[in-house]
Amino acid sequence: MAAKKKQAAEKVHKLNGKQIVEITLRPSLNAAAVIMDYSKSFGEQDFIELSGVLNEDIQKVNDGNMQRCEGMLMAQAEALQSIFVNLSRRSVTQEYLKNMETFLRLALKAQSQCRQTLETLSNIKNPPVVFAKQANFANGQQQVNNGVAATHAEEIKNQPNELLEAQYGGETLDSRATGATIGKDKAMAALE
């Protein structure tokens, strides 16, 4: 196993700067590196094989096949549900309130993540329908008339004020009286 790692390291050292950048930014290789670090319970992984399978999965999604994504989300929701149940049950057995609170908080976070995962799965399976209230397709000048068209110019008035005045018996809404002006202050006169 150490020999394979040494060979891979020697190959990387022979690459030029642009090739290293392209490898660093390739999604399948990034994911393979992370998966290798976190999936040790399944044994040692072959980096090239793993990145190849990931590349195939990425291509399937690009072609519109979402079955793997849907399966992954459902499996994650099930895993999060089991985490929720485990932490909830462990919280009941705690002697101290602080420990119980910690377990319950973590359980509810797992439950929330489970709900969000199922919501994402639902949105993939049944994309939400969006009804546009207004669509603008003009290439040049465009006029948008929202609401009912007025037949005469005099019909267009400040309707919200009229409604409020009608509510208060026709009185104007501005009940403030005009204040008296203040006399000149000779001490504060402008300089010449």
When pLDDT is cut at 50, 70 and 90, the band that residue 6 belongs to is low
What's the rounded Cα separation, in Å, for the pair 82 and 110? 9
When pLDDT is cut at 50, 70 and 90, the band that residue 115 belongs to is very high
163 in Cβ contact with 173 (< 8 Å): no
What's the rounded Cα separation, in Å, for the pair 94 and 79? 23
Residues in Cβ contact with 8 at an 8 Å cutoff, skipping those fewer than 6 apart:
47
Average pLDDT, the chain: 81
Using DSSP's 3-state secondary structure scheme, residue 117 falls into: helix
DSSP string, 25-59: H-HHHHHHHHHHHH-GGG-PPPHHHHHHHHHHHHH
Q: Each residue of 23-69: pLDDT tens digit?
A: 888 899 999 989 998 888 888 889 899 999 999 999 999 999 999 99
94 in Cβ contact with 113 (< 8 Å): no
132 in Cβ contact with 144 (< 8 Å): no
In the prediction, which pLDDT does 9 show? Answer: 59
pLDDT above 90: residue 185: no
Unique residue bearing structure tokens 């519109």:
64
Selection from 112-116, 121-125, 152-156 with the highest mean pLDDT: 112-116
- Tokens describing residue 190: 């402008």
pLDDT above 80: residue 187: no
Residue among 37, 72, 39, 41 at smallest CA distance from 58: 72
- Tokens describing residue 64: 């519109």
- Tokens describing residue 112: 């929330």
In the prediction, which pLDDT does 13 show? Answer: 64
Greater confidence, 153 or 39? 39
Residues in Cβ contact with 149 at an 8 Å cutoff, skipping those fewer than 6 apart:
none
In the prediction, which pLDDT does 53 show? Answer: 94
Greater confidence, 154 or 144? 144
Residue among 103, 85, 106, 107 at smallest CA distance from 95: 103
84 in Cβ contact with 114 (< 8 Å): yes
Average pLDDT over residues 145-152: 62
